[in-house]
């Protein structure tokens, strides 16, 4: 039961990350490595602002900083013409320094004894069990972000962002500014990712400079697990399935950890393997099909 509740809490909070990755990976059609830096940026900003006494403002500030980081990667991709992967790597590397600076040149910040938004809500919603409060916060935040994103991708500008990721040639010959749409899409994506880091930092009660390492793969794994459950149909369903996939991912991980299948430090390797296997499945399936056709063709000959 604790296992389930814990997975649900973390899954919802990391669901924001999964939605952010879904936006860059599936809607914009670019693997965006900025995520590694923007997640930590969210962690750092949220922790620092919380220490200063404003946990809610911390979430907002983290979201805005994440958007700025995404926009920077977008600018590098479009206005300067740097390869999308390299643009992400450049921003991510640069952010390492920025993140350290935000945390006061220290590689971690503790929130123990500070008033995080969870601490506040524990007292405000007093008789409610702490685990329920944590679950509520995760659920409300994920639901709000989901609604906002569903709305956004139905607006005219949201449609333009989707079209840019789907058929850039078409957008280039239309009156839509493709560069601006890419920048905007990456900003929204990284805003979500940073917001995820922001809430996770307050949940865990500390910020760590290395919290973003491998986070893109975690997001990708969530997106892929979600697609395995719901399939790939619409953007709305894709966003919902990203959250569901994130919960699924946490569940799988915590189950595996609780049965002592592998030590905690195996997590990143396992996530990477999940993503690699899932992404190679279509090719493997096509290869198997070709082999079967060849074998049957030979039999007939």
We find the least distance from the C-beta atom of residue 168 to other proteins, in angstroms, to be: 10
We find the least distance from the C-beta atom of residue 47 to other proteins, in angstroms, to be: 32
Residue closer to other proteins, measured from CB, 27 or 217: 27
Mention every residue, 6+ apart, whose C-beta is less than 8 A from residue 52.
none
Residue closer to other proteins, measured from CB, 169 or 301: 169
Q: Which pair of tokens denotes residue 3?
A: 């296992």
In 3D, which of 64, 70, 79, 63 has the Cα closest to residue 30? 70
Q: Tell whether residue 159 is a contact of other proteins (CB under 8 A).
A: yes
Q: Tell whether residue 154 is a contact of other proteins (CB under 8 A).
A: yes
- Measured from the Cβ of residue 280, the count of other Cβ atoms closer than 10 Å reads 11
d(CA 188, CA 87): 17
Angle between helices 130-152 and 235-258 (to 10 degrees): 150
Q: Tell whether residue 79 is a contact of other proteins (CB under 8 A).
A: no
Among 173, 260, 264, 283, binds other proteins (CB under 8 A): 173
d(CA 41, CA 44): 5
Which of the stretches 46-54, 65-73, 84-92, 170-178 binds other proteins when contact is defined by CB under 8 A? Answer: 170-178
Which of the stretches 60-68, 118-126, 150-158, 200-208 binds other proteins when contact is defined by CB under 8 A? Answer: 150-158
Which of the stretches 6-14, 116-124, 158-166, 286-294 binds other proteins when contact is defined by CB under 8 A? Answer: 158-166
d(CA 226, CA 231): 8
Which of the stretches 45-53, 87-95, 171-179, 284-292 binds other proteins when contact is defined by CB under 8 A? Answer: 171-179
d(CA 87, CA 215): 17
* CA distances for 8 relative to 47, 115, 132, angstroms: 23, 23, 11
Q: In the 8-state DSSP scheme, what is residue 209? A: T
How many residues form the binding site for other proteins (CB under 8 A)? 20
Count of all residues that appear for the chain in the document: 301
Q: Tell whether residue 81 is a contact of other proteins (CB under 8 A).
A: no
- Measured from the Cβ of residue 246, the count of other Cβ atoms closer than 10 Å reads 32
Residue closer to other proteins, measured from CB, 165 or 248: 165
Residue closer to other proteins, measured from CB, 8 or 176: 176
What phi and psi, each to the nearest 5 degrees, are found at residue 262?
-155, 155
- 8 Å CB contact between 40 and 197: yes
We find the least distance from the C-beta atom of residue 270 to other proteins, in angstroms, to be: 31
Q: Tell whether residue 157 is a contact of other proteins (CB under 8 A).
A: yes
Residue closer to other proteins, measured from CB, 66 or 158: 158
Among 97, 110, 124, 167, binds other proteins (CB under 8 A): 167
Site residues, other proteins (CB under 8 A): 154-160, 162-163, 166-167, 169-170, 172-178
């Amino acid at each position: 039961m604790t296992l389930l509740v814990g997975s649900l809490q973390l899954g919802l909070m990391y669901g924001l990350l999964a939605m952010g990755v879904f936006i860059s990976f599936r809607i914009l059609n670019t693997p965006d490595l900025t995520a590694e830096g923007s997640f930590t940026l969210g962690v750092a900003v949220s922790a620092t602002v919380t220490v200063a006494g404003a946990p809610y403002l911390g979430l907002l500030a983290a979201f805005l900083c994440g958007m700025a980081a995404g926009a920077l990667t977008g600018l590098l991709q479009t206005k300067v013409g740097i390869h999308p992967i390299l643009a992400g790597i450049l921003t991510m590397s640069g952010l390492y320094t920025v993140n350290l600076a935000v945390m006061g040149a220290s590689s971690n910040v503790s929130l123990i004894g500070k008033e995080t938004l969870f601490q506040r809500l524990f007292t405000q919603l007093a008789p409610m069990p702490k685990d329920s409060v944590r679950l509520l916060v995760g659920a409300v935040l994920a639901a709000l972000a989901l609604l906002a994103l569903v709305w956004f991708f139905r607006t005219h500008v949201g449609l333009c962002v989707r079209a840019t990721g789907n058929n850039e040639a078409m957008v280039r010959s239309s009156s839509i500014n493709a560069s601006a749409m890419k920048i905007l899409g990456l900003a929204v994506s990284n805003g979500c990712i940073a917001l995820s880091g922001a809430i996770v930092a307050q949940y865990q009660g500390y910020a760590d400079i290395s919290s973003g390492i491998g986070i893109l793969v975690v997001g990708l794994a969530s997106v892929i697990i979600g697609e395995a459950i719901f399939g790939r149909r619409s953007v709305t369903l894709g966003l919902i399935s990203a959250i569901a996939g994130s919960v699924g991912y946490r569940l799988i991980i915590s189950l595996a950890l609780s049965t002592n299948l592998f030590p905690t430090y195996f997590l990143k390797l396992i996530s990477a393997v999940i993503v690699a296997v899932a992404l190679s499945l279509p090719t493997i399936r096509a290869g198997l099909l070709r082999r079967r056709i060849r074998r049957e063709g030979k039999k007939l000959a």
